[in-house]
Amino acid sequence: MLSNLQHECLCVCFSFSLKSTFQKDSLSTDFKKWPKMLMLPPATSHSRPIFLYSSRRLQEEDQQYRTSSLPAIPNPFPELCSPASSPTLSSGSFPQCQPSGKYIIKIFSEDGMGKVVEIPADMTARDLCQFLVYKNHCVDDNSWALVEHHPALGLERCLEDHELVVQVQASMTSESKFLFRKNYAKYEFFKNPLNFFPEQMVALCQETSGTIPPSQLLQNFLNSSSCPEIQGYLYVKEMGRKSWKKLYVFLRRSGLYFSTKGTSKEPRHLQLLADLEDSNVFTVITGRKLHNAPTDFKFCIKPNKVRNEVKELRMLCAEDEQSRTCWMTAFRLFKYGILLYQNYKIPQQRKTLLSHFSAPRSVSENSLVAMDFSGRIGRVIDNPVEAQSAAMEEGHAWRYSIENCSLVLKAFCISFDPVIHRTQLWFHGRLSREESHKMINQQGRVDGMFLLRDSQSNPKAFVLTLCHHQKIKHFQILLCEEDGQMFLSLDDGATKFTDLIQLVEFYVLNRGVLPCKLKHPCTTVAL
């Protein structure tokens, strides 16, 4: 028989053992869950995850304070404890609120709305983008990116796919934030390498006058043993001043240098501007007048240790958009090298693998023969001349049937629909010219990037904004009338469309009067 005191001690031990087991199981199960969207209570600051850590720390200290005075009691139920637990219940064997290894971040969309996400410490930018694409039912075309935005400095950059989001957030201030948007130009260099780096811009470090042929340009950038060099003139802002100087600059794997004597490459004439290892390249999004810049094509090299000190930023300015794109692309290639190319190839390999399993069986052209079904029994046409004439007759018959069908449809053709296009992602309503330029710049100046908007000068017209050769052009879409019906046209009525959707679908397949086909719609997503 047990005494009352012993009976109470056994009850206390049993309750603490069960509590230890259940809390450990819940923590281990919660740690393995896929990152989930969650809404924090109003009393919790969304942009300061340190508050969550502080609350856990208080719970740990309170638990330690409450359990430190408990004596060491033999555990009568050791089978209820985990294998790592001691059979003796002491102050250190009680479960404490350990950090779960997850972090809270907030991500904003183009419309300014934000969403709080709980992610593990080892989540990369690519994984987070795919997670947001899945949660928001977006099209996964491998063009979404996570943008590091610093409003106080007027800087932003797209995170590389392999970067850890938690590490990047640790170097950001409370005013900085993450944006979720498209970036079609992230890997444009690997898709069209010949459009980058003019011949006079690339050279070899060992040869002052040596150049690299375009066919070997990509290989030299990715090969760590080779030593290519990007050279050219850039406007450089003097540290602590508002003045700019035009200098001859060299970008190498060891850093960014400028020559103190013309275009000389002698070591005694070179001075270091910025280091590549502990820095990142940013696009300057503030106005031209703020920094008194000579052109609008500004970019910046920001050391990772710099927070809000504008004076420590290395501000640079190029002559045009193509030059700025080349310099920023070269910075990324020199810093990450083959890792950047692997980031580009991962979606391509995944697409190839999916197509391998989902594509139907291919049919060899040699197994196809011409057949004649005009008689009661089909026969193979062996004569090539007869087969060609049969194909031409079939084509004429098909064209005749299509023309008759178009005449019938024309009799029942509806007029211009003024609202059907407003549900499309590429239509942005009353967007100004400046705002359309900004949106295309943010999502990448690649050939075929486009959007449609209402015309500000003509309330009955629309404007197609298109990017070609890194230049943004605008084409007015006018209403025209024929036989009492209203149509849309880009070429003064030569090609007519009943609505904007039909117009866009046509110019996606045909260039027409445009400099290139419509390829990448400039879209936004609401988180």
Q: Which helix (H) or strand (E) holds 402?
A: helix 384-411
Q: Which helix (H) or strand (E) holds 189?
A: helix 188-191
Same domain membership, residue 110 and residue 83: no
| Residue 328, pLDDT score | 94
Same domain membership, residue 328 and residue 211: yes
Q: Which of the 8 DSSP states describes residue 410?
A: H
| Residue 392, pLDDT score | 75
Per-residue pLDDT of the chain (527 residues), as tens digits, is 445 545 554 444 444 444 444 444 443 444 334 444 434 444 444 444 433 333 344 344 444 444 444 444 555 554 444 444 433 333 333 333 335 678 999 999 887 888 999 999 999 999 999 999 988 888 888 889 999 999 988 999 999 999 999 999 998 988 899 999 999 999 998 888 888 888 888 876 554 445 566 567 777 777 766 678 899 999 999 887 888 999 999 998 889 999 999 989 888 999 999 988 889 999 999 888 888 899 999 999 999 887 777 778 899 999 999 999 999 999 999 999 889 999 998 877 665 544 444 444 444 445 566 777 776 677 777 777 777 777 777 766 655 554 554 444 444 444 555 677 888 889 999 999 999 999 999 998 999 999 999 999 888 899 999 999 989 999 999 988 887 788 899 988 888 898 899 999 999 999 999 999 999 999 887 77
Same domain membership, residue 112 and residue 227: no
| Residue 401, pLDDT score | 56
Distance between CA atoms of residues 488 and 478, nearest Å: 6
Q: How far apart are the first and last CA of the chain?
A: 65
| Residue 369, pLDDT score | 67
Domain count, the chain: 4
| Residue 126, pLDDT score | 94
| Residue located via tokens 């419309």 | 111
What is the domain-level CATH number for residue 502? 3.30.505.10
Which two structure tokens, joined as six digits, stand for 308? Answer: 């809000």
| Residue 516, pLDDT score | 94
Which two structure tokens, joined as six digits, stand for 466? Answer: 């298109």
Instruction: Decide if 410 is inside a domain.
Output: no
Dihedral angle over CA of 343, 344, 350, 351, nearest 10: 160
Question: Each residue of 178-199: b (16+ CB within 10 Å) or e?
Answer: bbbbbbbbbbbbbeebeebbee
Distance between CA atoms of residues 233 and 448, nearest Å: 29
Instruction: Decide if 316 is inside a domain.
Output: yes
Same domain membership, residue 117 and residue 76: no
Same domain membership, residue 196 and residue 168: no
| Residue 62, pLDDT score | 46
Positions of E strands within 385-434: none
Same domain membership, residue 335 and residue 192: yes
Closest CA to 251 of 225, 282, 281, 292: 281
Beta strand pairing call for 155-158 and 449-454: unpaired
Query: Alpha helices, DSSP H only, in 155-275?
Result: 165-170, 188-191, 217-222
Choose the final residue of a domain: 342, 359, 376. Answer: 342
Same domain membership, residue 444 and residue 299: no
Question: Each residue of 215-242: b (16+ CB within 10 Å) or e?
Answer: eebbebbbeeeeebbbbbebbbbeeeee
Instruction: Decide if 96 is inside a domain.
Output: no
Same domain membership, residue 133 and residue 32: no
Closest CA to 143 of 452, 355, 448, 509: 448
Same domain membership, residue 211 and residue 112: no
Task: Quote the domain boundaries for residue 285.
Answer: 188-342
Closest CA to 449 of 508, 527, 401, 387: 508
Distance between CA atoms of residues 199 and 194, nearest Å: 10
Closest CA to 158 of 134, 128, 122: 128
3-state SS assignment for residue 438: helix
